[in-house]
Amino acid sequence: MLRWVRQQLGFDPPHQSDTRTIYIANRFPQHGHYVPQKFADNRIISSKYTVWNFVPKNLFEQFRRVANFYFLIIFLVQLMIDTPTSPITSGLPLFFVITVTAIKQGYEDWLRHKADNEVNGAPVYVVRSGGLVKTRSKNIRVGDIVRVAKDETFPVDLVLLSSDRVDGSCHVTTASLDGETNLKTHVAVPETAVLQSVANLDKLVAVIECQQPEADLYRFVGRITVSQQAEEIVRPLGPESLLLRGARLKNTKEIFGVAVYTGMETKMALNYKSKSQKRSAVEKSMNSFLIIYLIILLFEAILSTILKYAWQAEEKWDEPWYNEKTEHERNSSKILRFISDFLAFLVLYNFIIPISLYVTVEMQKFLGSFFIGWDLDLYHEETNQRAQVNTSDLNEELGQVEYVFTDKTGTLTENEMQFRECSINGIKYQEVNGKLTPEGFSEDSPDGNRHGLVKEEELFLKAVCLCHTVQINADQTDGADGPWHANGITSPLEYYASSPDEKALVEAASRVGVVFTGISGDSMEVKSLGKPERYKLLHVLEFDPNRRRMSVIVESPSGEKLLFTKGAESSILPRSKSGEIDKTRIHVDEFALKGLRTLCVAYRRFTPEEYQEIGKRLHEARTALQQREEKLADVFNFIERDLELLGATGVEDKLQEKVQETIEALRLAGIKVWVLTGDKHETAVSVSLSCGHFHRTMNILELVQHKSDSTCAEQLRQLAKRIKEDHVIQHGLVVDGTSLSLALREHEKLFMEVCKNCSAVLCCRMAPLQKAKVVRLLKTSPEKPITLAIGDGANDVSMIQEAHVGIGIMGKEGRQAVRNSDYAIARFKFLSKLLFVHGHFYYIRIATLVQYFFYKNVCFITPQFLYQFFCLFSQQTLYDSVYLTLYNICFTSLPVLIYSLFEQHVHPHVLQSKPVLYRDISKNAHLGFKPFLYWTILGFFHAFVFFYGSYLLMGEDTSLLGNGQMFGNWTFGTLVFTVMVITVTMKMALETHFWTWINHFVTWGSIVFYFIFSLFYGGIIWPFLHTQDMYFVFVQLLSSGSAWFAIILIVVACLFIDVVKKVLYRHLQPTSTEKAQLTEAGSGINCLDSMCCFSDGETACTSVRRMLERLMGRCSPTRVNRSWSSTDPFYANDRSILTLSTMDSTTC
């Protein structure tokens, strides 16, 4: 019970030893001294809260917010001392805000729980009591024997016991873990490989000892002790025996394995970062602004308290005849009285801190997030997937991104390779309708319709069909009975490959007539134009990154010994002594310029004596106990020489649609793109070139294959020097995982300097946690840029969780990335709409919302402060308590909320077609200190005009009513409040560019509602109110013509300066966004903001007239006659992508 409670609270007992002992099928020793080790259950948890910790954890997170904590203190003060306002005025809004936020965050976490439950509740088969038992994934225990069928995902980390194959091998794809789509072969130890039935496995008595869980995907150390006929056989276990959770079984009917790591201890889960509360830059700015306003509040409260006591130094004001003190008041401590007065002023002015800001922001984020899901431009029809929002707290952060970190496989690419071209014997070929056609020939040309293959072509295709590690689906036959056309094109075989390139090449060869039909024993079978041939496989010279090639030695049907080699051109061409080397080199360069992945193919014939020598040297190297790798490398180099070049291939890794345009758009928007991939160096560079991440004109710098700290540091210094010397051209950096580890250990600053001076960075061979480290490195650099990570596999989860904004791609590599992301989209191309349109809108909306809230609260509370100078600082309130409570809740809340949901200051198509507009809002431009200062000063200015304007027009001896009566205290306060409600609402109307009927309804409706409510509230004697101060006050105020004149005059005086400032700034210093506020709508042009309409030869009066028209609606399309010219610098940069059609003066 205690352990369960600890788990529910998020605690996990530490492991007691460095190793774990696992008894297969949980057959524990029978002696009484054995104490079983405690292991985690198999539940995956991506949620933040549990039923038990939701309330305390959520309250802690909410009270970290300055405003919430402040209002809690104010509420407690109101409970403890006698204050001018009721505790309800602070307690009720606080309770409302906390509750709404908790419900929203609880709902979002419930969605995560739901997703977790789907994974944890997945059906699995476990061997128990001599049979297969169906259970749920979460019920698997360490030691259970689990059965996994073909194409299923492993539910835990398993040690392979047996498969449907005699040798105990199976094939696995780890695409969702490390991004690699190739098949990996795993093998069982011989003693368990023979146990292929449930009955035999149930009799197995064995113990596994292995290391405790660690995050490294490629490391596993253990041993298995199998008891057979009173004999114990010990076998070593390595990574080749471990099947990782999240990987998928391929090309194997079924396997049995024993669970060694479960739940959050699996390697996949350990590569997740813990879920932390992400906070947007806007929220941090809000907290800073709140602290400034708190200082203003404290200053006003302290000043008022000091002035009160300075005023009361005169005896006649200390205790006037109409307000005598009680005996208790006379005898009370002066210090306590000072503190009490200070706290009372604090409560009186506390509305300068807008608590309703937080709840409005929460509602805006929550409701606004639905627009992403509803956007049809983000809907992918083929897969029927729409964008989804997992965390709405970061909407505005989408408009602030400076760095994008993207995975390659499945994010930029479709995980599909396609054969495009090849070069054979110095002639370029393309595949046309299942035939190899030389360049320049077609079906219609005299020689175009050729039958069969010439000798060089057939030999090249045989080399492609024999030099690989491709396997054939075990469910299929060798294809002998398959349907064949005259030229032997069609093959029904399904291939699995250790490299996607190899699969594409073997499939291409099969389409043009040379088909690899499988391996039978030690023979490779090929059909050449329908004629079967059998090649005996003698040796495989495995691929390694240093040689950058692989080879096979085979015996042909005629008994000839042949070496077939394929690899990178840099490793094949220098070793070739014959063939069309120069022509092939030119063709390879042409393929590379097209962004194709290139491989060269060569062969060599051996004499019997040469082969005998090679066989002897290979055997010696492979059986060496010391320096085996060096000896093998020497022998491989000895064998792979004097080659005859056959040709080269060009394969395209199919990019997702519009990837190149999206990356180019991100670059134009000032966003730097880093590609982080687990793929090998050559593959990654090739895709970077083809997707436009690296340009052909870019100088590519490399920091790869460094084994020591000193060489890495020296290379970094050389790169930094090169960048300084060639500062004119653009640089791209390629770095691999091992070099990155060395660079981050001691030379972090130098590495960052090199990276920041490069236009594009590519990191290859990256482990999942290394991806997160790179993101953290940028996040914590002095500039503190906003980062975005996008990926589709489990190997991207850490990176997605580390970045400020994490986006999951709904790809082919499982749902882990989507479940742990903040946003999920179906394709990489949707990123541009998400950032340039939704991000832009969300940021502009919330920036205005936040600053408007501070503005209207300064307008609200400053007259209260000024009024104290006229009431002897007696803490008399200027407004009625009902007005105090309803000002933020009812009278001024809806216009700004609707604005923050619907505002579109520029048309979406314009934003997406002009990525440079994104730069206008970068680096929190609209929530910096200058805009904040402007709004605050404007608030104070308006407050002074409200108060002193009313005071001057409604002066002491002015009789304003028909019967000669004068206005009283409450009438004056109501007049100030009326002017304030109208002005702040009209100010919101001035800020609105996109008017809908809802905007009109809430803007003018709020003012009407205020008048109706005030008439209703002041026109009835309410029995539950202990005072009737406001009875008939509002009716009397509105019966005075002078009051109406004062209201109109003060409102116009406040807003006139603001209008003039907008006109001057937009005509004299327009921003790029203001210039772009033109868009096409129907047959004419709608002007979303009058100040964007720059007209030739127009007088200033005409501009002002249009501005005033704009305030009431939209400017007339017929009056807009300026079009963007080709010389305009704003449009010069972005003709390459998504540019709108030009507008001429007749249209505009």
Q: Which of 2, 71, 49, 604 is nearest to 351 (CA)?
A: 71
Quote the crossing angle between the two packed helices 88-120 and 355-368, to the nearest 10°. 30
Give φ, ψ of 295 to 5 degrees.
Answer: -65, -40
DSSP 890: I
443 DSSP 8-state letter: S
Residue 515 to residue 478: CA distance in whole angstroms? 10
Cβ atoms 905, 991 nearer than 8 A: no
Q: How many CA atoms lie less than 13 Å away from 1039 in the CB half-sphere?
A: 16
Q: At how many degrees (to 10) do helices 840-867 and 281-311 cross?
A: 0
Report the C-alpha dihedral over residues 872, 874, 878, 880, rounded to 10 degrees. Answer: -160
E strand or H helix at 387: none
Tokens (6 digits) for 255: 């396997």
Structure-derived torsion over alpha carbons of residues 620, 625, 629, 634, reported in degrees to the nearest 10: -30
Question: At 228, which amino acid appears?
Answer: Q
Beta strands 403-406 and 731-736: pairing type? unpaired
**Which residue in the block uniquely carries the two structure tokens 């071209």?**
421
Q: What is the 3-state secondary structure (H, E, C) of 600-640?
A: EEEEEEECHHHHHHHHHHHHHHHCCCCCHHHHHHHHHHHHC
The three state secondary structure string of 1053-1093 is HHHHHHHHHHHHHHHHCCCHHHHCCEEEECCEEEECCHHHC
**Exposed/middle/buried for residue 439 (C-beta within 10 Å: 0-12, 13-18, 19+):** exposed
- Residue 609: is it exposed, middle or buried by C-beta count within 10 angstroms (0-12/13-18/19+)? exposed
H, E, C per residue of 946-977: HHHHHHHHCCCCCECCCCCCECCHHHHHHHHH
116 part of the active site: no
Q: How many residues make up the chain in this entry?
A: 1148
- Cβ burial, residue 393 (10 Å; 0-12/13-18/19+): buried
Q: CA-to-CA distance for 350 and 861, rounded, in angstroms?
A: 8
CA-closest candidate to residue 978, choices 897, 880, 900, 1108: 880
- From the candidates 178, 407, 796, 880, which is the catalytic residue? 407
Token pair for residue 16?
């007691």
Could you tell me how far CA 627 lies from the centroid of its own chain? 46
Rounded Cα distance between 889 and 857, Å, is: 12
Complete DSSP assignment for 648-679: EEEEEEEEPTTHHHHHHHHHHTT-EEEEE-SS
Is the separation of the CB atoms in 669 and 654 below 8 Å?
A: no
Distance CA 412, CA 790 (A): 10
Q: Compute the distance between CA of residue 1072 and CA of residue 915 in angstroms, rounded to an integer.
A: 11
Pairing of strands 495-496, 471-472: antiparallel
| CB proximity list for 61: less than 8 A, separation 6 or greater | 277
| Burial per residue of 666-689, b for 16 or more beta-carbon CB atoms within 10 angstroms, e otherwise | bbbbebbbbbbbbbbbbbbbbbbb
CB-CB contact of 89 with 133 (8 Å): no
Report residue 621 as tokens.
Answer: 């190297």
Collapsing DSSP to helix, strand or coil, 540 comes out as strand
Q: Which residues are catalytic?
A: 407
